[in-house]
Amino acid sequence: MWRQKRLVRILVEKDELDRKLFSTEQICNWYSVDHCQLGGEARNRFLSLQMDEETNEFLSASLIISNSFCLQVYYSLFASLLSVFLAKTSINGLLHRGRMFIFSHSHLKVFLAIPDDWSPIGRQLLDIGAGDGAVTAKFASFFASICVVEASKVMEWRLARRGFTVLPMDKWQRSGPYSLITALNLLDRHHHNCPILLSVVLPIRQFVEFDDKIVSAGRKLPASDIPTKGTTFEAQVNSMIQNVLEPNGFEVIRWTKLPYLCEGDLSRAYYVLDDAVFLLNAMPYHTHGEPTILEYGAEKVPELECQTQLGLKVIFGADHEYAFVSFGFSLNKL
């Protein structure tokens, strides 16, 4: 009897929470910012996006999965068993749960100002930290070929099943050339003085899943911190621009705010964090040393190497349209 009452209480609380999660006010906050808290450049470069049908479809599908009681019990049971020897990312890949959503197809097209006559022919994408490929797949209509790199072997299996070309983690640097590079938890390499798409969850809470070198209070920490300040989303946007992007030679072309969504569970229909998405211009004058020749793929291209203040190597090279860079952070279920 006690268990039945507890289950009823959980389901009632979930229903009440889901009603709030799907309220118009809640969803509007995903895309809005307080312009009064933004600095001049951040305010002038902001591009407002709105909820669209593709985002709504993800939320509706997530609600159905969340309300599937038997499926959620199955997920919880096997996730507990698998957590003994697998990381959360690998567990999600094995159970095929926890899909992520950031961009819709239309959001990407508007934000990157992709023309109607854009052709994917001859264009190749590399996604570093592709997860299960759900976010990567949004770029499929813009690129003829997609290569991926993943630390999780289970996710590599998922990516291969999607038809992506999986590259070894220690060899992707010599692949290519690419029209666009996406990177999760890694700002490593991009080419030429080209636009860069940077996505970062704010306020920042760094977390490393596949590295046991630095552990504090049970959390795996990165080797270096991203020096942002402030407690609000807007304050951290200002700090990202002033303390991270500009000192490392990046000019903000425009930016927007999007929800970083994850499929829900028995507790709630979905999980969401605030994502700041920047379209940047990499400035080649922010370099050290003379131009060098580095073999990249099947050809040699002139490159300028820059060691950033974050200890990250940035390489400017041949004629490529975009480089997508995403600082990734764990979507903890708070």
Tens digit of each residue's pLDDT (9 = 90 or more) over 202-242: 887 655 554 555 444 454 555 456 777 888 999 999 998 98
- Average per-residue pLDDT for the chain: 75
Average pLDDT over residues 278-298: 47
What proportion of the chain, given as a percentage, has pLDDT over 90? 23
Query: Shortest CA distance to 250 belongs to which of 171, 186, 197?
Result: 197
Instruction: Identify which has the larger pLDDT, 277 or 89.
Output: 277
In the predicted structure, residue 28 carries a pLDDT above the cut 60: yes
- Which helix (H) or strand (E) covers residue 199, if one does? strand 195-201
- Report pLDDT for 86: 86
Residue found under tokens 């080209």: 194
Are 271 and 209 a contacting pair, CB within 8 Å? no
- pTM of this structure: 0.72
Summarize the confidence of residues 22-26 as an average pLDDT.
87
What per-residue confidence (pLDDT) applies to 224?
A: 54
Report which DSSP code applies to 68.
-
User: Per-residue pLDDT for 173 more than 80?
Assistant: no
Residue 289 has pLDDT above 80, yes or no: no
| Best CA proximity match to 55, nearest among 202, 204, 334, 272 | 272
Residue 284's pLDDT band (boundaries 50, 70, 90)? low
Structure confidence at residue 206 (pLDDT) = 54
- The answer to whether residues 238 and 34 touch, using CB atoms and an 8 Å cutoff, is no
Q: Say how many C-beta atoms besides its own lie within 10 A of residue 319's C-beta.
A: 11
**How are beta strands 124-128 and 180-183 bridged, if at all?**
parallel
Q: What integer pLDDT is reported at residue 243 of this predicted model? A: 87
Residue 13 has pLDDT above 50, yes or no: yes
Q: Name the pLDDT band for 282 (thresholds 50, 70, 90).
A: low
Highest mean pLDDT among 208-212, 240-244, 283-287, 305-309: 240-244
Nearest alpha-carbon partner for 207 in 195, 223, 229: 223
Q: Rounded mean pLDDT of 86-113?
A: 87
Give the bridge partners for 200, in sequence order.
Answer: 276
Residue 153: CB atoms within 10 Å: 10
What proportion of the chain, given as a percentage, has pLDDT over 70? 71
Read off the tokens for 91: 């567990």
Provide the 8-state DSSP code for 137.
Answer: G
pLDDT bin (cut points 50, 70, 90) of residue 308 is very low
Q: Is the peptide bond before 203 cis (omega within 30 degrees of 0)?
A: yes
pLDDT for residue 105: 92
Residue type at 201 in one-letter notation: V
Q: What is the pLDDT of residue 238?
A: 93
Enumerate the β-bridge partners of residue 271: 262
Q: Give the pLDDT of residue 186.
A: 43
User: How far is 138 from 291, CA to CA, in rounded Å?
Assistant: 35
- In this prediction, residue 292 carries a pLDDT of 27
Which is higher by pLDDT, 241 or 298? 241
**What pLDDT score was predicted for residue 184?**
42
Phi, psi (degrees; rounded to nearest 5) at 197: -100, 115
User: For residue 329, what pLDDT band results from cuts at 50, 70 and 90?
Assistant: very low
Specify the higher pLDDT residue, 223 or 3.
Answer: 3
Radius of gyration (Cα) for the chain, nearest Å? 21
pLDDT of residue 112 exceeding 60, the answer is yes
The three-state secondary structure class of 156 is helix
